[in-house]
Structure 1
């Protein structure tokens, strides 16, 4: 599983999807989240503004990425 480091204590889900190169744009984030294709820590997440912290695992399309502290 890949790990993506974040600079701050937390990051919004939509921003993290872009940072991890799982999507191309904010509009893509809105679409995949609305379609319930994204899960956080094994549970479907429908809030683009969900705050992620180090240790959280985001999955989209069978690809899992862990949030890591810098």
Structure 2
């Protein structure tokens, strides 16, 4: 991957949802929930095309999360669930 190139990735979750903070942690954008809080205050994040800075925001299969300068994440249901 080139420097500054954003990723596009499917994120497979177990039902019923995961939080925005969990997504940031699982995708190694931050290393802890506390860091997620500060990250969301300082960086633009869109959920389904709308700005959102709540680390507790529930993400469901079908949602998209665009973390500016990091990547676009597509929330999908983990097979077998």
TM-score range, shorter chain: 0.7 to 0.9
Q: CA-to-partner distance for each residue in 1:3-49, whole Å, 9 max, x for gaps?
A: 01011211111011111222222122101212352111111102111
Runs (4+) off by over 6 Å: none
Gaps of 5+ in 1: none
Normalized per residue, the structure richer in strand is 1
State the alpha-carbon separation in 2 of the partners of residues 64 and 50 from structure 1: 16
Q: What RMSD over aligned residues (CA atoms) do the two structures have, in Å?
A: 1.5
TM-score, with normalisation over the residues of structure 1?
Answer: 0.83
Size of the alignment, in residue pairs? 70
TM-score, with normalisation over the residues of structure 2?
Answer: 0.74
Residue 16 (structure 2) pairs with residue 9 (structure 1): yes
Gaps of 5+ in 2: 1-7
Task: Name which one, 1 or 2, has greater alpha-carbon Rg.
Answer: 2
Aligned partner of 2:74 among 52, 66, 69? 66
